[in-house]
Amino acid sequence: MALGKNIIQLQEELTYMPMQRLVQLVGDPNSEYGSLPLMEIKNRQDLQNASAKAPQSTVADDIISTATTPVGISPPG
């Protein structure tokens, strides 16, 4: 008797599926994927949200900014 795919193989397949197909699988009670499509959708949303919150400056901008900002130096007076 042949065994089905393991959870790692199923998850790997889902990473290549379009979002529309994942949504269909979430609504399919007979899907071999179980709750994995829902987890994949959540992962994609988390990645999208994280990239939207990422700073828009370049590494060079960050270096220049920290180099021109005095740290711990108080003005004379």
Q: What is the pLDDT of residues 18-53, one digit of tens each?
A: 999 999 999 999 999 999 999 999 999 999 998 778
Residue 20 located in a structural domain: yes
**Residue 14: which residues within 8 A CB-CB, separation 6 or more?**
22, 25, 33, 36, 37, 40
Residue 21 located in a structural domain: yes
Q: If DSSP codes are grouped into helix, strand and coil, which group holds residue 54?
A: coil
Domain count, the chain: 1
- State the residue range of the domain holding 17: 7-41
Confidence label for 3 from pLDDT (cuts 50, 70 and 90)? confident
Residue 55 located in a structural domain: no
Residue 67 located in a structural domain: no
Residue 69 located in a structural domain: no
What does the pLDDT read at residue 63? Answer: 86
Residue 46 located in a structural domain: no
Residue 57 located in a structural domain: no
Residue 37 located in a structural domain: yes
What does the pLDDT read at residue 74? Answer: 61
Q: What is the pTM of this model?
A: 0.65
